[in-house]
Amino acid sequence: MLASASPRRLDLLAQIGIVPDAVIPADIDETPLKGEPPRDYARRMASEKAAAVTSGAGGAVLAADTVVTAGRRILGKPEDEAEATAFLRLLSGRRHKVMTSVTLLHEGRARDRLVETTVRFRPLTAAEIAAYVATGDWRGKAGGYGIQGPAAAFAPWLQGSFTAVVGLPLAETAGLLASIGIRGQA
């Protein structure tokens, strides 16, 4: 069972031949705690999402959360175009971190992995930011961008996992699933 509303996570799982029995978005409060470090926040969100969705006997629940940070500042999903624009201005010309935490609940045991990727954005012009924001591609995406879409042109370099930036680190997720006997059809 996948505890996520993200179509990107479903698509990523399909790339490794995994089709969840069910997709049930977790309904939790995603507000960071005061002073909560980004890594702790990502881990807590993935864990809480997995716990919020129950599975049948012997079932497994997979949940993930992706956090974009500029320094210690967590950049969530922008509320509107103005916030998306502000996020992109902040990320322009600098490196930032993308942390994706994955939690797998199975038979009362939680297994998790946190994958951290560094992404560098080239300097962006006001016109480039406005054009990207006008596409609407930023909606529902941590940090206000999706690296798998038009914003790929903003990131000439990354160190870590591309699929983690998209929303689900496939190598680590496949390892977690294999640890409980779930393997995709290649």
Catalytic residues: 65
Burial class of 127 by CB neighbour count within 10 A (0 to 12, 13 to 18, 19+): exposed
d(CA 34, CA 94): 26
Cα 31 from Cα 182, distance rounded (Å): 32
In degrees and rounded to multiples of 5, residue 127 shows phi and psi of -65, -40
Q: Do 13 and 2 meet the contact criterion of CB atoms below 8 Å apart?
A: yes
Longest dimension (CA), the chain: 53
DSSP state of 121: P
Q: Residue 139 carries which side chain, given as an amino acid letter?
A: R
Angle between helices 170-178 and 7-15 (to 10 degrees): 70
**108 Ramachandran zone, left/alpha/beta (phi>0; psi -120 to 50):** left
